[in-house]
C-alpha cells in the first residue's frame, strides 16, 4: 500500500513539473524580449529628442544651446553623430540593430557607449552646424 502511494505521488509531481517547467521557459523568453523592446524604445525616444533639439538649436542659430538627458542601455556597441544622422548600434539577441534618428541640422559630435544616464549638450556653432556632446 505504501509503495502505491509513493508511486502515485511521484506521478503527480512528474505531471506538475511537466506543466510548470515549460511555463517558466516561456515566461523567461517573454521577459527577455520585453526587456529588449523597452531598452530599444527608450533609446529611440532619447535619440528622437536629441534630433528634435538639434533642429531647434540649428534654426535658432549661434549661440543657442540646450541640454537634455540621454539614457544609454547596456549593449550599445557604437554611436555615430554626423551629417544629419544620429545612429546607435545596439546588441540585440544574437545580432545587432541600428537605431537611427534624422534631423534637419548638420550635426557633429559624439554620444556615449557605456550604460548610464548622461547630460547631452547641444549647441549651435558659428559655422552653421550643431555640436552634440556629453
Cα–Cα dist 46/134, whole Å: 14
Task: Record the cell numbers describing residue 32, joined without a space.
Answer: 527577455
The answer for residues whose C-beta is within 8 angstroms of residue 117's C-beta and 6 or more apart is 69, 70, 71, 72
The pTM assigned to this predicted structure is 0.76
**What CA–CA distances, in Å, run from 81 to 8, 66, 100, 105, 116?**
66, 17, 10, 11, 19
Return the percentage of the chain with pLDDT > 90, whole number: 69
Q: Are 73 and 42 within 8 A, CB to CB? A: yes
pLDDT by residue (tens digit) across 17-75? Answer: 999 999 999 988 888 888 888 888 988 999 999 999 999 999 999 999 999 999 898 88
Is 78 a residue whose pLDDT tops 80? yes
**Strand-strand pairing, 130-133 and 95-109:** parallel
Amino acid at each position: 500500500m505504501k509503495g502505491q502511494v509513493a508511486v502515485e505521488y511521484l506521478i503527480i509531481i512528474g505531471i506538475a513539473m511537466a506543466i510548470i517547467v515549460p511555463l517558466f521557459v516561456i515566461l523567461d523568453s517573454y521577459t527577455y524580449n520585453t526587456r529588449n523592446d523597452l531598452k530599444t524604445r527608450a533609446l529611440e525616444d532619447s535619440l528622437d529628442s536629441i534630433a528634435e533639439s538639434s533642429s531647434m538649436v540649428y534654426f535658432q542659430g549661434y549661440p543657442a544651446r540646450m541640454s537634455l538627458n540621454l539614457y544609454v542601455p547596456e549593449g550599445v556597441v557604437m554611436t555615430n553623430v554626423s551629417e544629419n544622422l544620429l545612429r546607435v548600434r545596439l546588441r540585440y539577441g544574437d545580432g545587432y540593430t541600428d537605431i537611427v534618428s534624422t534631423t534637419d541640422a548638420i550635426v557633429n559630435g559624439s554620444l556615449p557607449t557605456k550604460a548610464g544616464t548622461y547630460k547631452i549638450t547641444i549647441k549651435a556653432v558659428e559655422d552653421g552646424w550643431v555640436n552634440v556632446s556629453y
